[in-house]
Amino acid sequence: MTPPPPRKDSETMDAEVREKIHLEILKRTGAYHANDHILLPSGQHTTEYIEKTLVTTEPSFTEGLGAVIAKHFAPWPIDVVVSTGPGALILSHCVARAHPSRPTVLYGTKGVSGGKRRVTLPVEFHRLIQPGTKVLVVEDLVSSGATVRLLTELVESLGGKIVGVGALWRRTKRSDVDGKAIFSLVSRDFPTYAPETCPLCKKGMPLNREFVKRRDERKPSTAEEDDE
């Protein structure tokens, strides 16, 4: 009799398969680009790119992905789901809808004051986060983790307790922000190359400048959105 494969392997494989499915879904929204040669705002080149604004444009996909995040956090009671930014808010609604605790949905507002990025919570929401309130933070994309950090600090300043952080996509190798684990459906950073050492340039593949151009067009009002 053949022994069953070690559990760890099958778990790893499941995670890989799941991630592939989620990537496929994101590809169908038109948000995810692969096998390209893309110029980034930093001047670096890459093969993959995700257009944040497009991620939550397909309601049935967002609902499905939100339900996966909700299922992960189902064992923990949650009072409140909190996010900031339009994309994350749409997702957070779907997560809250699918979570057995039926948490309420609150959202912060991003802004800059005194040269520093800040997230504030509309004053009407303040009484909904009290000492001991169990809070799930939801993000669409996590890159630097700056937004997650601002949100968790805000929640904790009101006495709320962070149950976890759920995201569609984690672009950083770090799987936590200040010790708070991030559960993400896709954990993937893109390889980036300096133009001088870029293997795609060496192959003579044409450079796609579309995304930098688009970003420049919407500057400066939303440029800060890009460092999540």
Site for Zn ion in 7-46 (CB under 5 A): 45
Q: Are 164 and 181 in contact (CB under 8 A)?
A: yes
Q: Are 135 and 78 in contact (CB under 8 A)?
A: yes
Q: Which is nearer to Zn ion, 177 or 200 (CB)?
A: 200
- The residue among 22 and 45 lying less far from Zn ion, judged by its C-beta, is 45
Residues 6+ apart with CB under 8 A from 44: 192, 193, 194, 195
* Spatial separation of the C-alpha atoms in residues 51 and 163, rounded to whole Å: 28
Contacts of 207 (CB under 8 A, 6+ apart): 37, 38, 39, 45, 200, 201
Cβ-proximal residue to Zn ion, closest one? 198
* CB-CB contact of 80 with 103 (8 Å): yes
Residues in 195-224 at the binding interface with Zn ion, rule: CB under 5 A = 198, 200-201
Stretch that binds Zn ion, among 110-118, 136-144, 170-178, 193-201 (CB under 5 A): 193-201
Here the tokens at position 35 are: 């096998």
Residue with smaller CB distance to Zn ion, 182 or 200: 200
Smallest distance, Å, CB 199 to Zn ion? 8
| Beta carbon nearer to Zn ion, 155 or 200 | 200
Among 7-15, 112-120, 162-170, 191-199, which window interacts with Zn ion (CB under 5 A)? 191-199
Binding segment for Zn ion among 19-27, 147-155, 177-185, 192-200 (CB under 5 A)?
192-200
β-pair type (161-170, 180-187): parallel
For residue 142, give the nearest of 109, 99, 187, 104 by alpha carbon.
187
43 versus 159: smaller Cβ distance to Zn ion: 43
67 binds Zn ion (CB under 5 A): no
Residue whose CB is less far from Zn ion, 128 or 201: 201
Under the rule (CB under 5 A), what is the footprint of Zn ion? 45, 198, 200-201
